[in-house]
Amino acid sequence: MAQQIVMDVTGDTRHEFDPTDAAALAEARARFKQLTDAGFTAAVRKGSGISQLVRHFDLAADETVFFPRLRGG
């Protein structure tokens, strides 16, 4: 199972999906687009402590985290 983790006031909301299920994959792809269009940054975990920003849905990603647009404090 792959996971999309969206940061929010509750900590995060997690969406699990089976990457081999075409319908679930389409839903995950749509969610990715919806979030990034709304200004969220997406990053995938590449290894221990290593992440990479992604601008397009990554089929191979086990875990993608989304955080809201950054701003100066």
Rg (CA), the chain: 12
CA angle at residue 21 from 18 to 22, to 5 degrees?
130
- Least gap, CB of 4 to another protein (angstroms): 13
Report d(CA 60, CA 41) in Å as an integer: 18
Q: Which residues bind another protein (CB under 8 A)?
A: 5, 7-12, 39, 41, 43, 45, 48-53, 65, 67-73
Q: How far is the CB of 12 from another protein (least distance, A)?
A: 6
- Work out how close the CB of 26 gets to another protein at its nearest, in angstroms, rounded to a whole number: 26
